[in-house]
Amino acid sequence: MTTEVSAPLPLPNELTKPFWEGAAKGQLVIQRCNACGHLQHAPEPVCSACLSFDLGSAAVSGTGTVYTFCIATQAFHPYFEDKLPFVIAVVELDDQPGLKMITNIVDVDPDSVRVGDRVGVTFNLLGEGFMLPVFRPIA
């Protein structure tokens, strides 16, 4: 018997909701402190730069640099078994030094990815209407 295996889906909360709602609209949305402008990811209840609780979110440029990556060759979850090999990466976004996110690098031969590659955001359907912000090489 074959059954469709579902993706591990996010359970959005107050903090992550803007990220997922932005993605559904084709935007990369990151938590932004209304008091000092600091961008932070993952989102938290307080700004780690100024300790303000007045937090909002902002659509960011969607461009960045590959800080590091690995090529997943074992799935650890059945959903990913037919997607191997794929690239898991940390991308440093252009909008603020050190602002990083975990993502995938797509539309590329995994073995050709290098640290320092320039990448831009794109969106893949994850399932149940969720869009996943992922990155692909840009010039």
| Shortest Cβ 16–another protein spacing (Å) | 6
| Shortest Cβ 54–another protein spacing (Å) | 21
Are 50 and 29 a contacting pair, CB within 8 Å? no
Q: How far is CA 47 from CA 31, 36, 41, 106, 127, in A?
A: 9, 9, 10, 31, 31
Give the C-alpha separation, 104 to 135, whole Å. Answer: 6
| Shortest Cβ 126–another protein spacing (Å) | 6
Minimum CB distance to another protein smaller for 120 or for 127? 127
Are 24 and 54 a contacting pair, CB within 8 Å? no
Phi, psi of 107 (to 5 degrees): 60, 40
Minimum CB distance to another protein smaller for 34 or for 40? 40
**Token pair listed for 10:** 């996010």
| Shortest Cβ 94–another protein spacing (Å) | 17
Minimum CB distance to another protein smaller for 35 or for 75? 75
| Shortest Cβ 136–another protein spacing (Å) | 14
> Which residues contact another protein (rule: CB under 8 A)?
3, 5-13, 16, 19, 41-43, 48, 67-78, 80, 83, 85-86, 88-90, 98, 100-104, 110, 114-116, 126-128, 130, 132, 134
Nearest to 130, CA basis, from 19, 29, 40, 42: 19
Are 32 and 38 a contacting pair, CB within 8 Å? yes
